[in-house]
Amino acid sequence: MGGELSEVCYAVDERGRYVIAPSLGWEPKNVANSQAWEEVERQSIEALERARRGQASPLFFHMTRHQMSLGLLAGYVGLFRWSVRRHLTPKGYARMSTAHRRRYADLFEIDLDELDRLPETVEIARVAK
């Protein structure tokens, strides 16, 4: 064995059957993944800046950094979408109960202080290439 990895790809042949086809290699996927991670980082930086300017709550930053939508976040913490939407605003976040804050902190696997605190920089955990 030469130790080379190959990827199995499928394509439809001229008769409409699925057949194994050669891959273009890992480079196109690496480029696409790199671009996707750059977009996640850009959105996270934008969310962090909005929270720092008082236009959004720290929860908005955490939601964005974890690539969650409003509906997904609401489902994970077991709250109505309108309630989570309110928590994404600075005013609604300030009024949020400790029990609700705990739900969010547990979901993001952070403590309550970290939920309230905005980081200095955005760090995105990328999958090794």
Q: Can you give the pLDDT of all 129 residues of the chain as single tens digits? A: 455 556 677 888 888 888 887 766 667 777 777 888 888 899 999 999 999 999 999 999 999 999 999 999 999 999 999 999 999 999 999 999 999 999 999 999 999 999 999 999 887 765 544
Total count of domains within the chain: 1
Predicted TM-score (pTM) of this structure: 0.74
Domain membership flag for residue 21: no
d(CA 88, CA 56): 6
CB atoms within 10 A of CB 14: 6
Which amino acid does the sequence have at 18? Y
Q: Which residues pair with 21 in a beta bridge?
A: 9
Could you tell me the two tokens for 84?
């989570």
We report the CATH number of the domain holding residue 37 as 1.10.260.40
Closest CA to 63 of 53, 55, 72, 54: 72
Q: Which domain holds residue 56?
A: 27-116
